[in-house]
Amino acid sequence: MSKNSHKQQGLIVKALSGFYYVKPDDANCGETLQCRARGIFKKRGLTPLVGDRVVYSVTENGEGTVEELLPRTSELVRPPVANVDLAVLVFSVSEPVLNLQLLDKFLLHIEYADIPAVLCLSKQDLQDGGDTEEIAEAISSVHRIYGDLGYDVYGTSSSQGEGIQQLQERLRGHVAVFAGQSGVGKSSLLNAIVPGLSLATNAISNKLGRGKHTTRHVELIDIGGGYVADTPGFSQLDFEELGIEDLGYGFVEIRELSSDCKFRGCTHSHEPGCAIIAALERGEIEQSRYEHYRLFLAELNEKKRRY
């Protein structure tokens, strides 16, 4: 160890092939440093993740060693990112068509991970090409359903720069993750937020025959005052780790009302004295949301039967 190998703190912004790229907290320490992790982590069954705050030291050869992981506030398994404190669910209003069932599935997983979520409706500039009335209706239904549940909804157009500044303001001070189905314009959106970033977008990737996902590894992108995890996506959403209570927890309106149900462990599907069914009948819960809950419940039960 050299004399200057004193310990410093930083943030893992990228992990690739056994190396961790740490951005020092102290701006005077220069750019991102390529580090290896100490063997002790493996022994303890710990893996440093992108988003981890760490203590590291600089070795003689100018590389670094991750010495210690600082406590995490959150941890996502897929994609593997630590300390995310905001999820931006990006859904396009056309091409691909807005899919509320998928949106509810994403929200369910984000709520279960206890990460605050905002919704972003992208590709608003493509409205001219599609059925504008249908698209306008889809946009207003998202504002009505999800706005009422307390989610912020942002409308953006990457090509026209609409709504980009408002979204960037919302991201300030956060480590955010962008999630959404393939082809909704997540990379275009990040390129619009950080001019000069030029992330590969799907159009290019398809020409190269690389298939759907344009993002290969998890990386934190500095957006000036905040970070966004550009990730290989949440496309593998399944319910293996969720129990039936967790499913209810992932729907805000069900979570808030379920304590009023007559029976503990109520599945909100057929039980007498169910507060959710009563609220649905009074028109206080959105029909589509309840239908998606029932659908996910059936999927969960089917999985449990199979294993």
Domain ranges of the chain: 7-70, 81-230, 244-306
Task: Answer yes or no: is 29 a known binding residue.
Answer: no
pLDDT attached to residue 212: 46
**Band of residue 80 on the pLDDT scale cut at 50, 70, 90:** confident
pLDDT attached to residue 147: 94
Select from 169, 144, 165 the least CA-distant residue to 156. Answer: 165
Task: Answer yes or no: is 187 a known binding residue.
Answer: yes
Please tell me the number of Cα atoms within 13 Å of 189 on its side-chain side: 33
Task: Answer yes or no: is 261 a known binding residue.
Answer: yes
Task: Answer yes or no: is 180 a known binding residue.
Answer: yes
**Higher pLDDT pick, 128 / 286:** 286
d(CA 123, CA 160): 9
Q: Mind listing the pLDDT tens digit for each residue in 99-151?
A: 899 999 999 988 988 899 999 998 766 555 556 787 888 889 999 999 999 99
d(CA 66, CA 2): 16
Task: Answer yes or no: is 23 a known binding residue.
Answer: no
Q: Is 56 helix (H, G, I), strand (E, B) or coil?
A: strand
Task: Answer yes or no: is 57 a known binding residue.
Answer: no
Write down how long the chain is: 307
Is residue 17 pLDDT above 60, yes or no?
Answer: yes
Task: Answer yes or no: is 160 a known binding residue.
Answer: no
Highest mean pLDDT among 13-27, 120-134, 237-251: 13-27
Task: Answer yes or no: is 120 a known binding residue.
Answer: no
Assigned architecture for domain 81-230: 3-Layer(aba) Sandwich (3.40)
Task: Answer yes or no: is 39 a known binding residue.
Answer: no
Task: Answer yes or no: is 34 a known binding residue.
Answer: no
Fold for domain 7-70?
OB fold (Dihydrolipoamide Acetyltransferase, E2P) (2.40.50)
Terminus-to-terminus CA distance in the chain, angstroms?
A: 52
pLDDT attached to residue 21: 94
Query: Tokens at residue 204, please?
Result: 């290019």
Task: Answer yes or no: is 184 a known binding residue.
Answer: yes
Select from 185, 171, 153 the least CA-distant residue to 222. Answer: 171
Containing 193, the helix (H) or strand (E) segment is: helix 186-193
In CATH, the number for domain 244-306 is 1.10.40.50
pTM of the model: 0.82
Q: Is 74 helix (H, G, I), strand (E, B) or coil?
A: coil
Strand partners, 35: 20, 64
Task: Answer yes or no: is 92 a known binding residue.
Answer: no
The contacts of residue 233 (CB under 8 Å, 6+ apart) are: 79, 179, 182, 213, 215
Task: Answer yes or no: is 173 a known binding residue.
Answer: no
Task: Answer yes or no: is 124 a known binding residue.
Answer: yes
Task: Answer yes or no: is 127 a known binding residue.
Answer: no
